[in-house]
């Protein structure tokens, strides 16, 4: 099986899994992305260890669960905002753990563990807040989340296609040699067209509001891709993992989500 076929099959199953979980229930989605969050943190920890920085794995997993679950329970109105204060324990736990490890750079370990939680876990937890329980009908309740992924995926696919065919002017060659301005422009047009098309079905927002969402996804999603490329380039890693054949690892597949989710989440609080 050639790489294109493998990539296509994996991509289709990936999309079906995420959309299926969104439509099934908010709990199915939250459970799926809890697994993604833990896997993403472990991938990040494995990559960062190449630079001889060693975030504590067990503490990282426990704090991933704490951060993710408290945020999701709050978003689903099953826990008050006071439970979010439990996450103030993250830094004390990471620093205390280092007291019992023999490491040449304990504070780098703490900093890298903290970064992994904020960069990887927090944005994935925020996605559950895209559900709108107050909207009438399941379709509208799920609209913001489905729209977010559709715009992101079609922008990414458009950028890949246009960049492969027309790409000549590199955006940031020292970080990502293949990412081009032609791909960015082509992908942006595809993403904006997607926003226009879904505004007819996901009527929670007008096209103008969906356009704002699309712009944030395009801009921050692009930077998210570059940031993950910066991590891999600094450590000499080609792919963050091999979990998704043809696509690499979790961070490779969700790099754009990690930077796009927070600004879109903030925007949604003003649009609703």
pLDDT tens digits, residue range 15-61? 899 999 999 999 999 999 999 999 999 999 999 999 999 999 999 99
> pLDDT band at 187, cuts 50/70/90?
very high
Cα(89)–Cα(112) distance, rounded to whole angstroms?
16
pLDDT of residue 85: 97
The pair of three-digit structure tokens given for residue 14, joined into one six-digit string: 């990936």
Residue 230 has pLDDT above 80, yes or no: yes
- pLDDT single digits (tens) 131-147: 987 766 666 789 999 99
Domain count, the chain: 1
pLDDT of residue 136: 67
Cα(185)–Cα(158) distance, rounded to whole angstroms?
9
Report the C-alpha dihedral over residues 112, 239, 160, 10, rounded to 10 degrees. Answer: -110
Mean pLDDT, the chain, whole residue set: 91
Cα(32)–Cα(73) distance, rounded to whole angstroms?
15
Helix or strand holding residue 176 (H, E): strand 176-180
pTM of the model: 0.93
List, in sequence order, every residue forming a beta bridge with 269; answer none if it has no partner.
none
Is residue 131 within 8 Å of 148, Cβ to Cβ?
no
Of residues 173 and 192, the one with the higher pLDDT is 192
Structural Rg of the chain based on CA atoms: 19
Residue 177 has pLDDT above 90, yes or no: no
Residue 129 has pLDDT above 90, yes or no: yes
Q: State which residues form the domain around 194.
A: 3-271
CA dist 214 → 18, 68, 156, 177, 269 (Å): 19, 25, 12, 25, 16
**What percentage of the chain exceeds 90 in pLDDT?**
75
pLDDT of residue 168: 87
The pair of three-digit structure tokens given for residue 41, joined into one six-digit string: 């943190």
- pLDDT single digits (tens) 49-99: 999 999 999 999 999 999 999 999 999 999 999 999 999 999 999 999 999
């Amino acid at each position: 099986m050639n790489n294109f076929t493998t990539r296509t099959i994996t991509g289709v199953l990936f999309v079906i899994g995420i959309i299926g979980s969104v439509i099934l229930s908010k709990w199915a989605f939250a459970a799926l992305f809890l697994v993604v969050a833990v896997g993403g943190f472990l991938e990040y920890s494995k990559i960062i260890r190449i630079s001889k920085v060693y975030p504590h794995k067990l503490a990282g997993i426990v704090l991933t669960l704490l951060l993710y679950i408290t945020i999701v329970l709050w978003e689903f109105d099953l826990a008050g905002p006071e439970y979010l204060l439990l996450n103030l324990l993250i830094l004390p736990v990471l620093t205390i753990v280092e007291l019992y490890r023999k490491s040449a750079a304990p504070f780098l370990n703490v900093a890298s563990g903290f970064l992994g939680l904020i960069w990887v876990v927090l944005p994935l937890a925020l996605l559950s807040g895209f559900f709108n329980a107050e909207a009438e009908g399941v379709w509208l309740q799920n609209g913001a989340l489905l729209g977010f992924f559709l715009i992101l995926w079609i922008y990414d696919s458009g950028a890949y296609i246009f960049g492969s065919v027309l790409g000549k002017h590199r955006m940031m060659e020292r970080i990502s040699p293949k990412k081009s301005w032609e791909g960015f422009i082509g992908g942006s047009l595809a993403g904006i067209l997607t926003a226009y098309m879904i505004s007819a079905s996901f009527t929670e927002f007008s096209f103008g509001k969906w356009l704002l969402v699309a712009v944030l996804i395009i801009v921050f999603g692009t930077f998210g891709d570059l940031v993950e490329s910066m991590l891999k380039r600094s450590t000499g890693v080609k792919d963050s993992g091999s979990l998704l054949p043809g696509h690499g690892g979790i961070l490779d597949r969700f790099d754009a989500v990690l930077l796009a989710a927070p600004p879109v989440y903030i925007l949604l609080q003003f649009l609703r």
